[in-house]
A and B are shown apart, each in its own frame.
Chain A
Amino acid sequence: SAVISQKPSRDICQRGTSLTIQCQVDSQVTMMFWYRQQPGQSLTLIATANQGSEATYESGFVIDKFPISRPNLTFSTLTVSNMSPEDSSIYLCSVGARDFSGANVLTFGAGSRLTVL
């Protein structure tokens, strides 16, 4: 399966600032997603990062707050803009690969733990 590297692994940020998280995959992948995991909570899909076009956002997430880039098939960035303490979460990059049955099995990066003061 693909190996995913996320940077930064953790950061402490000030309210009102923005932070960009990078996701690098060791192979070309068609499907790439960004998830958020708030403290003690489950994973919530933020958006699907589409190569060469705008990301597809889930309900409750907007491009102005979470702009996403995906310049090629191995790299994506997620920016958390104008941060507030409510944005303190783990942000996870994941990539999908179809297995023999057609299922999309997701592999996850180690996550970026953001704390907003």
Chain B
Amino acid sequence: AQKVTQAQTEISVVEKEDVTLDCVYETRDTTYYLFWYKQPPSGELVFLIRRNSFDEQNEISGRYSWNFQKSTSSFNFTITASQVVDSAVYFCALSDTGRRALTFGSGTRLQVQP
């Protein structure tokens, strides 16, 4: 069975600090996909990134970066120079090629204080 663990329930930082959100996953599949979604206070889920199991190259998009390490089954998300607008709940999710739906972690609530 698939499982996604986000051990950090809530993180509070001051603006301009860097913050890393942890995600650890479990799956028996050799091919799978990992995702991060953002859920701002408005409630809508926003897709941030998809990573497949064959590609361990880290990715950077502006202030966001992702570190995928297959050896530790982790897919961590770092926000550099955080801003108040980054305040949201962030979900890590997992799917395989057969199961079309996603399995979500419990989410990490990030609060960025001005």
- A interface residues, Cβ below 8 angstroms from B: 1, 31, 33, 41-45, 48, 90, 92, 94, 96, 99, 101-111, 113
Contacts and interface: CB of A to CB of B under 8 A. Distances in A.
Nearest to B6: A42
B105 A33 contact: no
Nearest to B32: A103
Interface in B60-114: 91, 95, 97, 100-107
A101 B32 CA distance: 11
Given A103-B50, A105-B35, A42 B101 contact: no
Contacts of B37: 108
A99 B101 CA distance: 14
* Interface class of chain A by DSSP: strand
B52 to A, nearest CB: 5
Interface of B: 33, 35, 37, 42-45, 47, 50, 52, 91, 95, 97, 100-107
Query: Chain A CB within 10 Å — which of B35, B44, B100, B103 has the most?
Result: B100
A100 B105 CA distance: 25
Contacts of A110: 42-44
Given A90-B43, A108-B45, A111-B44, A42 B52 contact: no
A105 B50 contact: yes
Most buried by B among A48, A106, A110, A111: A106
A1 B45 CA distance: 13
B97 A102 contact: yes
Nearest to B50: A103
B43 A111 contact: yes
Nearest to B43: A111
A61 to B, nearest CB: 12
Given A106-B47, A111-B43, A48 B101 contact: yes
Contact of A42 (B47, B97, B105): B105
Given A42-B105, A43-B91, A48-B100, A108 B44 contact: yes
15 contacts: A31-B100, A41-B106, A45-B101, A48-B100, A94-B45, A99-B50, A101-B52, A102-B97, A103-B33, A103-B50, A103-B52, A104-B33, A105-B35, A106-B47, A109-B44
